[in-house]
Amino acid sequence: MTQEARDLGEAEGDSPSTSRPRGPRSSSDWLACAGPEVTERFLASLSDPALAALPYLFEFWALPHQLPPEGDWLTWIVLGGRGAGKTRAGAEWVRSMVEGPTPGAPGRARRVALVGETYDQALAVMVKGESGLLACSPPDRVPKWIAGERRLEWPNGAEARLYSAHDPEALRGPQFDAAWADELAKWPRAQETWDMLQFGLRLGQHPRQVVTTTPRNVGVLKGILARDSTVVTQAATEANRAFLAPSFLREIRARYGNQRLGRQELDGELLEDAEDALWTRSAIDALRVTEAPEGARVIVAVDPPVTGHAGSDACGIVVVAVVERGAPHDWTAVVLEDASVASASPTAWAEAAAAAYHRHGAARMVAEVNQGGDLVGTLMRQVDPHVNFRPVRASKGKTARAEPVAALYEQGRVRHLGVLGALEDEMCLLTLRGYEGTGSPDRLDALVWAVTEGLLLPAAASLRPRVRGL
C-alpha cells in the first residue's frame, strides 16, 4: 500500500472511512497543480476502495474555511458570502459526527438537530439540496429520509430531526449531542429558538454545534460570536469560484460590490451600526458615487498618532475633494480615499500623507497638532517642503466636532467614492455618547478635519458681517 493511499485513510482489510475528524487541507490543490503524470501516478497508486472513497473524502477537497478549527470549542460559526460553500461545510460536519469507519459503526454523535428558518427550507437545503446531507453521503452511508417524522436515519442508527425557527417550542424536550443551525441570522424568532436549542444540546461527553450563515447585524449572532467557546471561519463568495458561474461572479460583484449589501452578502462581513450612531451604513450607501468630481479643490487631512510602534493607533489620512460651485453653503464634497496607515513611524506616516497629497493634486493639507504640537508641522516640512500645510487644533470633543459633519451627510452634501470600509466602520460606531469601537477613530477624525476645512469653515466665514466702504 502506497503512502498516498495511507494518507487517504485506507486501512488494511477495511473500507476506508470517508469522513474523518481531520485531514489534509490542500490535497486537491496539490493534485490540481500537479502535472498529468503526477496525477495519473497518484490515482493509480490507490486501491479500488480508496479510489471509490476519494470523491466523498471531504477533507481532501475542502476549502480552509469549510473545515472546523482545532480546539475545545462548543460552537463553530461559518460566516460566508452567497455561494461560499457554507451549506456543504455544515453537511460534511454532520457526516463527520455521525459516521463511523464503516457504514454500521457508530460515530461521535447519534442524535442531531437540524434547524432552519422553516421546515420546508431545512428540508430543501440541509437535507435534499445539492450540498445537503443526501447528496454528500457516499452510497453505503446515505441516510434514509422518513418524511412523516421529519427525520433522517443513518445505517448505523444515528438520526437527525428537522426543526423550524418559526416553532422554537418544538425544541423543548428533545435532546442532542450535535446540531446544525442554517442561516441563523435570518431566523424570525432567532433568540428564542437558539435558547431552546442550547437547553437540548446535552448528550454525550462533548456536544457541539455548527452555525452556517450569511452575517447580519442581529443580536443573537453577535452574542454567540462574543462567547469564548465560539470559533469562526469566514470566506467571501469568490473563495468558492471554482463551483460558481463566472458570469454570476462578474455581474453580482459589479452590481453590489460597492454597496453595504455587497460587503454583507458577498464578502461575508458582519456590519454593525451602533445605537444612536451619527452615521448608518444604509445612509452612507445612498451617498456613493463612481467618479471623482472634475475641477475640485482637494484637501488631505491627517490625524497623527501619539507614538509610532507596533501597538500605536493608526495615522488617519483622508482625502476629500471639494466642489466649490455657488455660495460656500452650497458647496459639496466627495471623499476620495482613506490612505490611513497603521503602526507607522512618524517619518512613514508623514511620507504616506505627502504621497496622498501629490497623488490627488491636493491644494491643502491640514493636520491635528494637539498631541505633537509644532513637531507635526516641522516633520511634514522636512519630509516634503512643497506641501501647503496648515495645523489645526481640537477644542471640542470628537462627537461635538463630528455632528456638523454628519449634518452635511444628511443634507447629501458629502459623498463617498466607492466603498471605504475601515473609515465607514468607524463612522458607524460614533454615537452621541462617544465612540463605541475599540481604540481611537483616527480615520474618522481625519475625515472630520477635511470636511471642516473644505465646507464648514468657508460657509462660516461667508456668514460673518463685513464692513463696506463708501
Dump strand ranges (E) for 309-457: 316-323, 332-338, 364-368, 389-392, 414-417, 430-431, 434-435
Q: How far apart are the first and last CA of the chain?
A: 106
Taking 70 as the threshold, does the pLDDT of residue 229 lie above it?
Answer: yes
What would the pLDDT profile of 164-220 be if each residue is shown by its tens digit? 999 999 999 999 999 999 999 989 888 999 999 999 999 999 999 999 999 988 888
CA 135 to chain centre: 28
- The interaxial angle of helices 374-383 and 346-359, nearest 10 deg, is 60
Longest dimension (CA), the chain: 110
Q: What is the mean pLDDT of residues 246-261?
A: 84
Question: Cα separation of 209 and 160, whole Å?
Answer: 13
**Burial classification of residue 24, based on how many CB atoms lie within 10 Å of its CB (0-12 exposed, 13-18 middle, 19 or more buried):** middle
Quick one: three-class SS letters along 155-208? CCCCEEEEEECCCHHHHCCCCECEEEEECHHHCCCHHHHHHHHHHHECCCCCCE
The whole-number pLDDT of residue 15 equals 38
What would the pLDDT profile of 25-67 be if each residue is shown by its tens digit? 456 666 666 778 877 888 888 888 888 888 888 888 888 899 9
Q: What is the mean pLDDT of residues 109-133?
A: 96
10: confidence class by pLDDT, cuts 50, 70, 90: very low
The whole-number pLDDT of residue 468 equals 62
Question: Cα separation of 446 and 340, whole Å?
Answer: 9
Q: Which three cell numbers stand for residue 414?
A: 458629502
- Beta carbons of 18 and 59 less than 8 angstroms apart: no
Q: Which of 26-35, 353-362, 455-464 has the lowest mean pLDDT?
A: 26-35
Alpha-helix residue ranges (DSSP H) falling in 309-394: 346-359, 374-383
CA dihedral 159, 163, 169, 172 (to 10 degrees): 20
Q: Which three cell numbers stand for residue 365?
A: 493639507
- Phi and psi at residue 306, to the nearest 5°: -70, -40
308: confidence class by pLDDT, cuts 50, 70, 90: low
CB atoms within 10 A of CB 146: 12
Question: Cα separation of 123 and 114, whole Å?
Answer: 9
Q: Which of 43-47, 133-137, 282-286 has the lowest mean pLDDT?
A: 43-47
Taking 70 as the threshold, does the pLDDT of residue 4 lie above it?
Answer: no
Radius of gyration of the chain from its Cα atoms, rounded to whole angstroms: 28
Please enumerate in sequence order all residues whose Cβ is within 8 A of that of 205, keeping only pairs 6 or more positions apart, or say none: none
The whole-number pLDDT of residue 278 equals 95
Closest by CA to 178, choosing from 65, 67, 76, is 76
Taking 90 as the threshold, does the pLDDT of residue 16 lie above it?
Answer: no
Place of cell 498516498: 4
Taking 50 as the threshold, does the pLDDT of residue 24 lie above it?
Answer: no
